[in-house]
Amino acid sequence: MMSRMAALTPSELLDLYHDLHRHPELAFAEHRTAGIVAGLLRGHGFEVFEGIGGTGVVGVLGNGAGPRVLLRADMDGLPVTERTGLDYASTDTATTPEGVTSGVMHACGHDVHTACLVAACAELAARPEEWSGTLIACFQPAEEVGSGARAMLADDLFDRIGGPPDIVLGQHVMPFPIGTVNLTAGTAMAAADSLRIVLHGRGGHGSSPEATVDPVVMASAVVMRLQGIVSREVGAMESAVVTVGALRAGTQANIISDRAELLVNVRSFTADVRDRVLAAIHRVVEAECAASGAPAAPEFTSVASFPLTSNDADACERTGAVLAEILEQQRTDIEATGGAPAVISLPPLPGSEDVGELATAAGVPLVYWNLGGADPGAFAGMDLAAVTGMGSLPDGVAPNHSPHFAPVPQPTLDLGVALLVGAALDRLAREEEGA
């Protein structure tokens, strides 16, 4: 029999959040965070698996027959120097794999996700008489670089924890008003692909371009030509984004360099558009290199690849009703912030996530929602659908990845915990036994 263990108190939850926020760690370097999570899970009676996919941690709590429900949180911070001015702001620094040292910050709220999931685990462990089945708490590394979920899967995640789950549930804090949960059935977030493209020219003296193949001119033509993909090859009712985020070539005015490098980011909302846009990029780059007389073919490297985040429609309908019920139960706390309980369904967000890899690998439904963590007062009179791109947020509300990103800790944390617990209990309910 499981012994009854206390859930986290409100001050323990806030302390945990502040501690995680003060000490963010970059993708695949979440050693301190993973250690804290593992220790807490053990303390609440979970069987703990560490070092899955590098720094991933999974806690498993078996409680009789029933479904296997996986709750997922991501743990990594970002190479961003925090400028929130909060008394629990991070002053830590870290060095990226590319050798760049900068401030490191939980600028995407993964500390919220981690703290909420730890607290949800503690609460579910303290209420064993209310459920039956197996609770799987998956603390994933390296969401930001798009490879943490795949790293855990490649490290035999499901074999190591006794099999795949029956459903994957998770949440992401967003600068929506407190009390608002966004849950979109079907495509919820974009696929994202980042490519490094190296163009080869022939270097030489700046005074004698005729003896060279100038990669700066070649790269310029490529950048302009890439702009035609979305405008000329993607239909009016489809959408995609092609952004050249970096273009590097040369050192000084009188030298023609022998190479140029482009970093290209692609966002798409269907597999068909994704395939078409990626193929068009290859075609355009190869053709421009040929047109320039490049001495070697261009090189393409995938730097990051996020799948479409695709929520299961039936599972969303069921979980969405549960989330609405939980928000209703928390109405007093939400209204005290000036907000109101609301489950909304925005059009697909242009951001990307790798949580879908876990559900796809298990062949099971995904339900992934956004948790509002911003001061509702800032949104007075605004249409939320108009701020989905995060490009038109009200004053004082910073988007994810901003050095000013600062979710309001409470009641956001309490809501995040309650939603995870409610969504999990709905799937683990005793009456499901034998169903």
Please give the positions annotated as active site.
76, 143
Closest CB to Zn ion among residues 79, 177: 79
Closest contact distance (angstroms) between CB of 88 and Zn ion is: 19
Q: Which residues of 296-306 are buried (b: 16+ CB within 10 A; e: fewer)?
A: eebeeeeeebb
- Residue 185's nearest CA partner among 95, 320, 363, 302 is 320
Contact 264, 226 (CB under 8 A): yes
SS3 of 43-94 = HCCCEEEEEECCCEEEEEEEECCCCEEEEEEECCCECCCCCCCCCCCCCCEE
- Quick one: which of 117, 242, 192, 174 has its CA closest to 402? 174
The residue at minimum Cβ distance from Zn ion is 108
Edge-first strand listing for the sheet containing 366-374: 47-52, 56-63, 133-140, 68-74, 167-177, 366-374, 180-182, 342-344
Cα(421)–Cα(226) distance, integer angstroms = 46
Binding interface with Zn ion (CB under 5 A): 108
DSSP 394-417: PTT-PPTTSTT----HHHHHHHHH
| Residue nearer to Zn ion on the CB measure, 27 or 387 | 27
* Min CB(80)–Zn ion separation in Å: 10
Closest CB to Zn ion among residues 78, 273: 78
Count Cβ atoms below 10 Å from residue 205 Cβ, excluding itself: 11
Whole-number minimum distance, CB 173 to Zn ion, in Å? 8
Residue 57, strand partner residues:
50, 139
| Residue length of the chain | 435
Q: Where would I find the H helices in 155-203?
A: 157-160
Q: Give DSSP secondary structure letters for 354-406.
A: STHHHHHHHT--EEEEEEEEE-GGGGTT--GGGGTTSSSPPTT-PPTTSTT--
- 108 vs 192, which CB is nearer to Zn ion? 108
Cβ 291 to Zn ion shortest distance, Å: 38
The pair phi, psi for residue 199, each rounded to 5°, is: -105, 135
Q: Which is nearer to Zn ion, 108 or 169 (by Cβ)?
A: 108
Q: Least separation, in Å, of the C-beta of 78 and Zn ion?
A: 7
For residues 27 and 213, which CB has a smaller minimum distance to Zn ion in the complex? 27
Distance separating alpha carbons of residues 176 and 407, to the nearest angstrom: 10
Q: How far is the CB of 223 from Zn ion (least distance, A)?
A: 26
What is the Cα Rg of the chain in Å?
A: 24
Work out how close the CB of 110 gets to Zn ion at its nearest, in angstroms, rounded to a whole number. 6
The b/e string for 409-426 (b: 16+ C-beta within 10 A; e otherwise) is bebbbbbbbbbbbbbbbb
Fill in the amino acid letter for 148. Answer: G
Strand partners, 247: 262
| Structure tokens belonging to residue 190 | 């974009």
Return d(Cα 177, Cα 197) in angstroms, integer: 40
Q: How far is the CB of 271 from Zn ion (least distance, A)?
A: 23
Please say which residue, 108 or 256, places its beta carbon nearer to Zn ion: 108
